[in-house]
Amino acid sequence: MSKDIEFSEEQAMLLDSAREFAKRESSIDLVRARLDEDRAIPVAVWDAMAELGWSGVVIPEQHGGLGLGFSHLVPIVECMGRQLMASPLIWSAIAAHALSLAGTEEQKSRWLPATAAGAIGTMGLMEAGGNWDLSVPTCAAKLESHHLALSGTKVFVEDAAIADFIIVSVLLEGQPRLVMIEASSIDAATVNREVIIDETRRSYRLTLDGLQVPKSNLLLELDFAEIELAAMLLLSAEMAGGHASTLDLIVEYLKTRKQFDRYIGSFQALKHPTVDILIGLEASRSQVYHAATGFDAGASKNRELAVRTAKAVASEGCAFAGDRAIQFHGGFGFTFECDAQLYLRRALWGQHQLGDEVHQRTLIAPLLLADVG
């Protein structure tokens, strides 16, 4: 990684346009109004995101995308996180990345241009056992004549009900592989909505038992670490955005709430943790953009170290900010009407996706110590 942090003019433009778009299309009132809807965001909003080119940011130009890479998707996702905007963009981008790396030419030519134009992809990687090691799935695929017979159950498959295709991890002949499932081959009864802590999202349990797909739907072999790192980078960017808005919420409350004829923001017991939240935010954003700077350069130890560090710092900082926001609001903070609980729910969801800060630091240690001695 030749540079610690690089932020280009293109990234700045994406950040500005994404900030305005997210503010307009995902105000806190709109977020609350959509909690009970089937889709996290309306079709028209997703279509507008696709028209802006966001759905094709990480897709190569030869397949209809912008070819800008994950470093340019990070500012967009950060702005979405600021507004609690839950859209199919993150996992659709990761599914497109998996296809770019391991798809056959037929798969790429069919699905990458479609995804760049707004088709929705998602990933089914997690299972009920909760193992954060993506390379050891328990769902299975068995070769039978001209098709693959799938079995098992995936959980936390975001936006599965509206996805045009889902890429799932399976164990095939003892090896972890990725298989594409087209929406047309999925029985709606096998896709069941899950109740999760972050109510802004739409997460599903996908049952694979009895599902058969053509052998041509099998992706080429791929190192699962690549998918994991891409997902962690975007989740970290989203948490950094949520962290910023949580701080704004806290500061606004401290400036308006009075006790004993004094604004509570003047109390030292509230000032100090608020400063800690600000310092944590600066650390989180710095780590995220440091990781983004070198991510598109390809595999390296420093690249993995940067992404895992970003995930650890963002997970811890965002969760702390959300917890303090609840506490600072007193009894009101524990009610559904208080917006602080929406930010805490988002923080806790992101914190435990693909490994919390304790898990990440366990894996960071050998990366740091490998060259010692």
| 33-42 pLDDT per residue, tens | 999 999 999 9
**How confident is the model at residue 296, as a pLDDT?**
87
339 and 204, same domain (yes or no): no
Q: Determine which helix (DSSP H) or strand (DSSP E) holds 206, and give its type and residue range.
A: strand 203-207
**How confident is the model at residue 258, as a pLDDT?**
76
Please give the structure tokens belonging to residue 32.
């609350």
Average pLDDT over residues 305-328: 96
52 and 162, same domain (yes or no): no
For residue 50, being part of any structural domain is answered with yes
200 and 273, same domain (yes or no): no
For residue 187, being part of any structural domain is answered with yes
**How confident is the model at residue 373, as a pLDDT?**
56
CB atoms within 10 A of CB 38: 9
Number of domains in the chain: 3
299 and 174, same domain (yes or no): no
Percentage of the chain surpassing pLDDT 70? 98
pLDDT above 50 (res 189): yes
Residues pairing with 259 in the sheet:
262
For residue 1, being part of any structural domain is answered with no
Please give the structure tokens belonging to residue 69.
């890479």
175 and 201, same domain (yes or no): yes
340 and 324, same domain (yes or no): yes
For residue 79, being part of any structural domain is answered with yes
| 82-109 pLDDT per residue, tens | 999 999 999 999 999 999 999 999 999 9
Q: Determine which helix (DSSP H) or strand (DSSP E) holds 178, and give its type and residue range.
A: strand 175-182
pLDDT band at 2 (very low <50, low <70, confident <90, very high): very low
Give the domain CATH number at 212: 2.40.110.10
Average pLDDT over residues 240-262: 91
pLDDT band at 7 (very low <50, low <70, confident <90, very high): confident
For residue 347, being part of any structural domain is answered with yes
247 and 295, same domain (yes or no): yes
**How confident is the model at residue 3, as a pLDDT?**
66
How many residues belong to the chain? 373
Give the domain CATH number at 38: 1.10.540.10
127 and 30, same domain (yes or no): no
Virtual CA dihedral for 208, 93, 85, 131, nearest 10 degrees?
50
Please give the structure tokens belonging to residue 171.
């164990």
Average pLDDT over residues 327-341: 92
**How confident is the model at residue 25, as a pLDDT?**
96
Query: Quick check: 227 and 134 in contact, CB under 8 A?
Result: yes
On average, the pLDDT of the chain sits at: 94
For residue 3, being part of any structural domain is answered with no
Percentage of the chain surpassing pLDDT 90? 87
**How confident is the model at residue 265, as a pLDDT?**
77
228 and 322, same domain (yes or no): yes
351 and 265, same domain (yes or no): yes
The domain boundary residue, chosen from 190, 217, 244: 217
pLDDT band at 318 (very low <50, low <70, confident <90, very high): very high
For residue 73, being part of any structural domain is answered with yes
| Rg over CA atoms, the chain | 21
Beta-strand pair 140-144/165-172:
parallel
For residue 2, being part of any structural domain is answered with no
Report the candidate in 11, 292, 230 with the shortest Cα–Cα distance to residue 101: 230
252 and 332, same domain (yes or no): yes
The domain boundary residue, chosen from 92, 120, 148: 120
Q: Determine which helix (DSSP H) or strand (DSSP E) holds 19, and give its type and residue range.
A: helix 9-25
Give the domain CATH number at 268: 1.20.140.10
Please give the structure tokens belonging to residue 250.
């806290």
Rounded distance, CA 44 to CA 40, Å? 12
Domain residues for the domain of 195 are: 122-217
Query: Quick check: 325 and 333 in contact, CB under 8 A?
Result: yes
141 and 151, same domain (yes or no): yes
The domain boundary residue, chosen from 71, 102, 120: 120
Average pLDDT over residues 315-332: 95
